[in-house]
A and B are shown apart, each in its own frame.
Chain A
């Protein structure tokens, strides 16, 4: 498997594993998460499309490191896995921090009560 492809798949596996066995935030069961990811995906197409368009690329890929499927436009499909992992990582950190803050607030309240 080409290296970028392998790393992209691995990143998704690691993010899912981190949520399943370590963070356990329940984020991936929220409809809110999937709706948001759908919107993010819709905006990734024009932004990433602009970055990777072969007519005037800002980011240039070595074809040997990808499976070579570039769609829509010229976006390497691996980028969608990269984007999923990156945004999901940010969201997992965000909701984990929210949970920590809520717990802290609860213990503070109990301590006072």
Chain B
């Protein structure tokens, strides 16, 4: 009856493709997010990467709070991670490396979006009323 718990008998299904790219899928998705948002800094001029101290502070808070939530979710069985699509590198409390990367990357994308919107907004206003004084205070 305890078939489900027995790793012997049947061959392990969906064996992770060793050496393949599948195990980097989660990390590659995160890399794509970083690459895709990079023009917000380099082209639009969001100035998020160029404020490393402020960036580090914001990311550290997110990692601390949402890292704890992630571990709670793992311990309480809210979610699990595919062995096939992750590297299998585990941090303390069984948190996959990919989750830490997620908590770093996604806030950066959010900050870049916010700053890019602000920059474009400011430019739009300046363009619509160019005559109104020389307020370049931002």
Contact = CB atoms under 8 A, between A and B. Distances in A.
Interface of A: 3-4, 7, 11, 31-33, 35-36, 39-40, 43, 47, 50-51, 56-62, 65-66, 82-83, 86-87, 89-91, 93-94, 97-98, 101
Given A65-B76, A86-B66, 4 more contacts: A4-B78, A7-B73, A32-B114, A60-B81
A90 B117 contact: no
B117 A11 contact: no
A96 to B, nearest CB: 9
Nearest to B81: A59
Interface residues of B, number: 37
A97 B25 CA distance: 34
Interface stretch (B4-12, B55-63, B127-135): B55-63
Contact of B109 (A32, A43, A50, A97): A43
B126 interface: no
B111 A91 contact: yes
A87 B37 CA distance: 15
Interface string B70-85: 0011001111111001
